[in-house]
Structure 1
């Protein structure tokens, strides 16, 4: 079938109910689909800066402080470095695919070993990441409101949740402006006080480096791995970075340097900034430990108040510390709410073939977050993150291994990403089995079911199992469960001469809108259909049959 042969027809009786609503809402943020070139008008630098604005969260300071106070500075810094190295290496192929092919991490996961329905598992994992970290940041903001204004914690939790709703409903355009405009102020409030403190009290660096923690056991492999397990819970952050990077402009000869710089820094490079904040969290906790005690030393509002007290009049301390905490919470939680709504919408639409609208899942995600905050999740934050990190590691390492090894080394997984219904098998055992085995075994290890000696090494087990099983299963299955079809019924190539997604436009016979080439395929009922209308087709009449060998 050629482009000229495709008939354009009126919406048939078999059109999916609610398709018009889906089409209207996704024109803003392309919730469940490829982000077209016609929408991606930002430069590489703007997209990169917006993505980095999303890592302004304060949880890094609490994570670093918690690890440092327990295991000492040396173990904490080694744990942070180990986790950062793993996150960078595994995040690179994911960020590249998101930016190059303009799809989010769920769409990448579908064609990287999981299948069309198999990636629902990882969408739920990612959605959990967003509301766990929303609750973490919301708790930090509530602590700031209580410290500065005397607001009860329960009310602070509610305020920190409700204030995000109007900011997140407008999608990427609003988020890009918010992040870009607030980055300079956030950096100033963050960097200047710390630089002043080190210059004023150089001995604080020595006290920080020699602090041995409450355990006081010196450098220990077990302590390093326990700390790294907490830090590795942040692996899911690459999904939020990709929610920005999918709007990168096409990579060309003229912009390739800025394109690569933005992808690397705002993709896996986020962890460089995150690791620095964790190390600073250890430093500030050690610095103010004697003044506020170990319990409060992990709270960012206490940390920055202690630092500000050394450099400015007393009347400025609390307002500036509160401004920093609130600004950081807003910057990251608009991203948490946005990304979480995408993940829930993706899962719900595929399973039910109904699209209720992204705003519904913004509210659902925030409700989960509020419940966690009211349950005082912050008091046992490191335990929650240590448990959760096993699932996040299993997912990210599986997808990264499929891209790096199965696609480029073994060539058993198709290099060109595929996410459309009917083109993929429902479930691909390569990714699903690897992910489940890695998650289950590492969680068993974490809870000590294989003995206390192995218990600290659950993150390492998750990495090794996923990295080994993913290529092994691809070899055993000979890559048979990746693609249900290789021909989508349209002769126009998916990629242009530069390897970027083809910008040629086609009209969907169901919703009547035009979409770019990667987002459409032939309908079994005749004509062309877009990927979202196909996802919501409850009759199955538009789904192409299995391609004969």
Structure 2
């Protein structure tokens, strides 16, 4: 394999990026087989380690306090079903074709530039939840070490940057080694609480919400209340994109590892929602317990550090309980925020490079994403969490459901959308109305509903509006356009097969004419520029993304 010298400072642009693979982590492109050395189990544990966040505890507490246990539980159930159904096809495509959700989105109804819209939606998800987790960590540092919140926000943000710089290699090790400790610190104390205070269970199910003074709201179970709770939970729908950022490093699927491959894909893909729903229910349970101990606790009942402090000090001295609560918060925050920062850096880099044909490197946008999160934290986003997440859910649902609809209906049922994943410039049209129009209409209409434009009665159902429109519009538009905006070309000019005998992306290598580096077959196209003697040349997807002149782009097939 021919490679460039990573110490050669004369190398710039795409060529420089590919020589720093450990840091760039295959941004913008297919994850090659030569890099994917982890087994299915390691990839799954790494992916699930990223959902160790405590935001679920805060979300569960918030929706329960506002709407009561009954509405919260039904809302969590609705959220889990939607995420499992939409997450499965996306996770499968990420693991099978070794590409992230942005690359999947391009070929699933959006086009090469059209998916920039959804990339911004995803990048927003990463900095919103980075800020949420950073806020939770800052609360813990203030409670345990008396560090002012504004300093805690900075510490919780800057701390993750060194860990994220080196990509999947470092993240996999971090997640695998910290997950057992995290589970012990979270699960065992909760089980102890159930054993020590069994009456808390009946109080939990009888809880009907509480106002700011801790007084009961007496909210009964209703469809509107359920949808209000579900709307907040569904803001997490874009979490599947972060799961896929790990799943794209799955090994090839073979007859020998098929069962393990499927188990890992399902568990780490849509399966994350099982753990998420459980954490939301536990968060609500702990909030109700705190309010039951004292109505004065209503102001802190949604803060995970106080939730676990209350459990720990039930059987430990206060100083030790406080220490363990802070340690748990810090571990959880680091585990999720390395993923938020990592995925956000990928999303911003993807968008910037496509629009400007310039590749600044993933690290630039790692810092940019963290900076936005710090601004949100300093603005005290925790105080308006429900409204922020409810609003974001409309955008996230529109994107994820539209892509899932295209994969399931347009690819497998109608056969209009090409079944095999395509993401390369020149092979796709710039914009495909199937996905772009679907997301704009679904998100736009649901946001109008959310802001009471169509009246107060329908306002709680904005997530349903986004879900239904995003599901039905892709097949309608695909049929209306006869699927002609999916592929600009069907032939990439390379005679080698794209897939091996088991349907996995091929590991055959070709030389990129721009960078002078060999890439695996799925990442390559024929260049429109012939060699000095008229011979065919090849170019990588990253180099093609940075081709400002467009001279290497193959012409459209008529």
- Range class of TM-score, shorter chain: over 0.9
- For residues 36-88 of structure 1, the C-alpha deviation after alignment (integer angstroms, 9 at most, x for no partner) is 11100000000000000000000000000001111111110100000010011
Q: Which residue of 2 aligns with 1:193?
A: 189
Alignment pair present for 1:458 and 2:471: no
Instruction: Identify the match of residue 13 of structure 2 among 9, 14, 18.
Output: 18
Q: Which residue of 2 aligns with 1:225?
A: 227
Deviation at 1:25, TM superposition (A): 3.0
Q: Which residue of 2 aligns with 1:161?
A: 157
Instruction: Identify the match of residue 535 of structure 1 among 537, 545, 551.
Output: 545
Asked whether the 8 Å contact 1:54–1:179 carries over to 2, the reply is yes
Q: So what's the TM-score if we normalise by structure 2?
A: 0.95
- For residues 438-463 of structure 1, the C-alpha deviation after alignment (integer angstroms, 9 at most, x for no partner) is 00000000011011110000000000
Asked whether the 8 Å contact 1:507–1:515 carries over to 2, the reply is yes
- For residues 314-346 of structure 1, the C-alpha deviation after alignment (integer angstroms, 9 at most, x for no partner) is 231000000000000000000000000000000
Q: Which residue of 2 aligns with 1:402?
A: 406
Deviation at 1:24, TM superposition (A): 2.2
- For residues 275-308 of structure 1, the C-alpha deviation after alignment (integer angstroms, 9 at most, x for no partner) is 0000001100000114352121000011100111
Question: For the residues of structure 2 that align with 1:27 and 1:314, how far apart are their CA atoms?
Answer: 44
Q: Which runs of 5+ in 2 are unaligned?
A: 1-10, 211-216, 531-536
Q: Which residue of 2 aligns with 1:205?
A: 201
Instruction: Identify the match of residue 114 of structure 2 among 118, 124, 137.
Output: 118
Q: 3-state SS of the aligned residue for 2:413?
A: coil
Deviation at 1:17, TM superposition (A): 6.3
Asked whether the 8 Å contact 2:22–2:166 carries over to 1, the reply is no
Q: Which residue of 1 aligns with 2:249?
A: 247
Q: Which residue of 2 aligns with 1:32?
A: 28
Instruction: Identify the match of residue 62 of structure 2 among 60, 66, 80.
Output: 66
Q: Which residue of 2 aligns with 1:275?
A: 277
Q: Which residue of 2 aligns with 1:175?
A: 171
Asked whether the 8 Å contact 2:87–2:269 carries over to 1, the reply is yes
- For residues 229-270 of structure 1, the C-alpha deviation after alignment (integer angstroms, 9 at most, x for no partner) is 000000010000000000000011111111111100100100
Q: Which residue of 2 aligns with 1:418?
A: 422
Q: 3-state SS of the aligned residue for 2:539?
A: strand
Q: 3-state SS of the aligned residue for 1:338?
A: helix
Q: 3-state SS of the aligned residue for 1:515?
A: strand
Alignment pair present for 1:483 and 2:487: yes
Count of matched residue positions in the alignment of Structure 1 and Structure 2: 534
- For residues 84-112 of structure 1, the C-alpha deviation after alignment (integer angstroms, 9 at most, x for no partner) is 10011000000000000000000000000
Q: Which residue of 1 aligns with 2:5?
A: none
Question: For the residues of structure 1 that align with 2:299 and 2:444, how far apart are their CA atoms?
Answer: 32
> More deviation in 312-321 or 409-418?
312-321
Asked whether the 8 Å contact 1:64–1:76 carries over to 2, the reply is yes
Asked whether the 8 Å contact 1:26–1:32 carries over to 2, the reply is no
- For residues 379-402 of structure 1, the C-alpha deviation after alignment (integer angstroms, 9 at most, x for no partner) is 111110000000000000000000
> More deviation in 16-25 or 78-87?
16-25
Q: 3-state SS of the aligned residue for 2:473?
A: helix
Asked whether the 8 Å contact 1:31–1:358 carries over to 2, the reply is yes
- For residues 369-419 of structure 1, the C-alpha deviation after alignment (integer angstroms, 9 at most, x for no partner) is 000000000111111000000000000000000000000000000000000
> More deviation in 336-345 or 205-214?
205-214
Q: Which runs of 5+ in 1 are unaligned?
A: 1-15
Instruction: Identify the match of residue 309 of structure 1 among 306, 309, 313.
Output: 313
Alignment pair present for 1:344 and 2:348: yes
Q: Which residue of 2 aligns with 1:433?
A: 437
Compute the RMSD of aligned alpha carbons: 1.1
TM-aligned CA distance change 1:27 to 1:424, over 3 Å: farther
Question: For the residues of structure 1 that align with 2:178 and 2:219, how far apart are their CA atoms?
Answer: 42
Instruction: Identify the match of residue 260 of structure 2 among 251, 258, 261.
Output: 258
Question: For the residues of structure 2 that align with 1:128 and 1:374, how far apart are their CA atoms?
Answer: 17
Q: Which residue of 2 aligns with 1:493?
A: 497
Q: Which residue of 2 aligns with 1:390?
A: 394
Q: 3-state SS of the aligned residue for 1:408?
A: helix
Asked whether the 8 Å contact 1:25–1:357 carries over to 2, the reply is no
Asked whether the 8 Å contact 1:40–1:248 carries over to 2, the reply is yes
Question: For the residues of structure 1 that align with 2:156 and 2:319, how far apart are their CA atoms?
Answer: 24
